[in-house]
Structure 1
Amino acid sequence: MAMAMAGDLNGVARVYENVGSLVRFAGVEEVEEEMEASVSLLDACAAARDSLRAMRACALDAEEARRLAVDVLERVVTTLSRRVASAGETNRWSACVARAFTNRVRRVACEDDAEEIASLSKLKDERDGGETAAWMRTLGETIEHLEDGVELLFRRIVQCRVFLLNMCSS
């Protein structure tokens, strides 16, 4: 949908490329109306541009937060697995953890180091290029296309406005 909107913005910009030839036949009142309308359109383009920049910043922040969360979880799992592996007997920490999860999970035990390694590998894969990372890349590209469309439309409206001002002054 966003890609369609970017295409539509480019289409509107193309319409503004041809306004010059159409306006030559317009009356003074119509030109003045277009001048007034162009101010509102420029304001709308500026607001859209600002919103897209804010969205891009939020997307970058979300990507950074995701990376940090995966790193922290990876460290926690590594640290806990070392503690569980090094503790031959039940200590206070493992007893507390076991009690905390007894009601929620029937089985709280690490059967094999391979499971830990698999879960860490899964976290690493997610961090390095998983589904979320691909989605974030797509989001960034979509925002970029929308920014390009808004910028093109903004430039075309400014060009049209300059043309109209020149036409009115001559």
Structure 2
Amino acid sequence: MKPIAIIGQTILYGAFAAFIGYFATAPRYQHLPPDKAVVKLSISHLGGRECRKRTPEELAKLPQNMRAPLDCPRERSPIALELDMDGQSLFKGQMQPTGVAKDGIATIYRRFEVPAGEHTLAVRLNDNLRQSGFPYSKEAQVTLKPAQILVVDFNPDRGGLFFQ
């Protein structure tokens, strides 16, 4: 009985190894078509808050340990974001702050398959919708190679919007 069990196990293990070996190489997977590139919009940022200066009368009414000169609401502003490529809009929308009190970070992640080649990329961001316009903007000529991934990110410590 033992030789039959060994032969049976060998056949079953061989079939399992062939199954794994086939699916390790086939069917062939292609991440992107050969003439496409990817632009990823990946931003996480805290929206602005509208603080106001308290009057001397308001400060006098408060307990001494709570006399902060500025009154800042907890809620943060949504963030407006626009992404254009060659004059056409790829994305236009708002990122909402997270959290029960709307005081958390606003995050967006979008992926766009675009034709490879030379393009004009423009990004605009407003992190305080109580103010008009876009205080952060960046426009650049980019050359995207086939299968290249270009990430659009935001970091106020590095000057705002940047491409990497």
User: TM-score normalized by structure 2?
Assistant: 0.26
Structure number with greater Rg is 1
Comparing both chains, which one has the higher relative contact order based on Cα–Cα distances under 8 Å and sequence gaps of 6 or more? 1
Quick check: which one's helix share is greater? 1
Quick check: which one's strand share is greater? 2
